[in-house]
Amino acid sequence: MDSIIIAIVTVAVIGLISGLGLAIASKVMAVPVDEKAEEIKAVLPGANCGACGFSGCAGYAAALSEGKTENTAMCAPGGTAVSVEVAKITGLSAGSVIPSSAVVLCRGTSQNISKRFIYNGVESCKMAAQLFGGPNSCSFGCLGYGDCVAQCEYNAIHLCDGVARINPVACHACKKCVNTCPRGIIKMLPLNMAKAAVLCNNHDKGAQTRKDCSAGCIGCMKCEKACEYDAVKVVNFCAVVDYEKCVGCGKCHEACPVKCIDIMNLKA
């Protein structure tokens, strides 16, 4: 009996000493909490997408609190409303966030492209692209295995006939799909503004593009010549639109012989 009592007392003493040690350590080694940063973080949407250029919401909140940035309008998912709340906390000026949505610049559906080989590997765009550039005849377009779909937390992306399509109403402009696409064919377009969008990323010469995809840009430069605002340029055999200059007049669309330029007016 004495040995049992001694064992119980010993364990109790060890527990007491350990508890006191942990309590002291928690005080000595405690990390100071930036209350302002915590307050800012609380009004951010919590997407942790990195669209602001920082390591998630906590990183952006810390940067604002520490004066590393004074831009309160860097949170695309939160928009102008979050910028206003952050400005109230920090005393900085509120900014305006232009609403935008991600768009897949590709029309490489099964009707427009063909398959060079049958791919039986991992269902991943990143993995498929490493095997001879992927199974599709166009080595620049959407691979259609849904890496962007898996990344989207808002159910805004769906695969339609082998090409990812994004619902602008559901898109939060977090740019996770932009960053995960191995082809780099997902771009951000402003909402509620008519803008020309080149739905192609093929940088081969026109003759090769015609073989790869019937809806691909052939670099003919007719769109560039038709644009009165110097908003369209053919770069490396593919048309590119400067959205700051584009007024959505539609002349590039009319001039395009393959109709790979659409005038988009995305609505939130």
Q: Where are the alpha helices (DSSP H) in 68-163?
A: 79-90, 125-129, 147-151
Domain boundary among 27, 61, 90: 90
What one-letter code names the amino acid at 85? E
Flag whether 22 is in a domain: no
pLDDT digits (tens, 9 = 90+) for 147-195: 999 999 999 999 999 999 999 999 999 999 999 999 999 999 999 999 9
Residue 29, pLDDT score:
63
Pair (116, 249) in one structural domain: yes
pLDDT at position 86 over 90: yes
Contact 130, 143 (CB under 8 A): no
Q: What letter would DSSP give residue 188?
A: E
For the chain, give me the number of helices (H) and strands (E)?
10, 8
Pair (179, 159) in one structural domain: yes
CATH code, domain carrying 126: 3.30.70.20
Tell me how far CA of residue 110 lies from CA of 148, 161, 216, in angstroms.
19, 6, 13
Q: Which domain holds residue 118?
A: 100-264
Pair (104, 84) in one structural domain: no
Pair (84, 104) in one structural domain: no
263's enclosing H/E stretch is strand 261-264
